[in-house]
Amino acid sequence: MDDRIRTLYGVVTVDEGGGMTLDGYKDEDKARARAKEIIEDIKRKKVLVDVYLSELEYYVYRNTYVTNKFIDDDSELLYSWKKGK
């Protein structure tokens, strides 16, 4: 892989209207820890949000994501308000 492209782990939240937020991390464990915090907050506030963990390609020198989608078939659904889990 090109040394200018790195894999970042994205914690992606999607609200009931389709709005998204993204937090990117170099370390998967840090991303999972942050996702856990977000999920606990969602449950406490009873917010209608899904939380995914995605691997994203990041172009270092341009400070931008090169991944076409923040959520794809390889993304892991960590929490769904629809399922309550």
pLDDT in tens, 6-63: 999 999 999 999 999 999 999 999 999 999 999 999 999 999 999 999 999 999 888 8
pTM: 0.88
Does residue 84 fall inside a structural domain?
A: no
Looking at per-residue pLDDT, the higher value among 1 and 12 belongs to 12
Beta bridge partners of 13: 21, 51
pLDDT over threshold 70, residue 85: no
Does residue 11 fall inside a structural domain?
A: yes
State whether the Cα torsion 28-37-48-85 is positive or negative: positive
Number of domains in the chain: 1
For 3, counting Cβ atoms within 10 Å of its Cβ (0-12 exposed, 13-18 middle, 19+ buried), the class is exposed
Does residue 25 fall inside a structural domain?
A: yes
Q: What would the mean pLDDT of 65-72 be, rounded to a whole number?
A: 91
Rama region for 46: left / alpha / beta (φ>0; ψ in -120 to 50; rest): left
> Whole domain around residue 16: which residue ranges?
5-79
The pLDDT value given to residue 65? 87
Does residue 85 fall inside a structural domain?
A: no
Does residue 72 fall inside a structural domain?
A: yes
Does residue 36 fall inside a structural domain?
A: yes
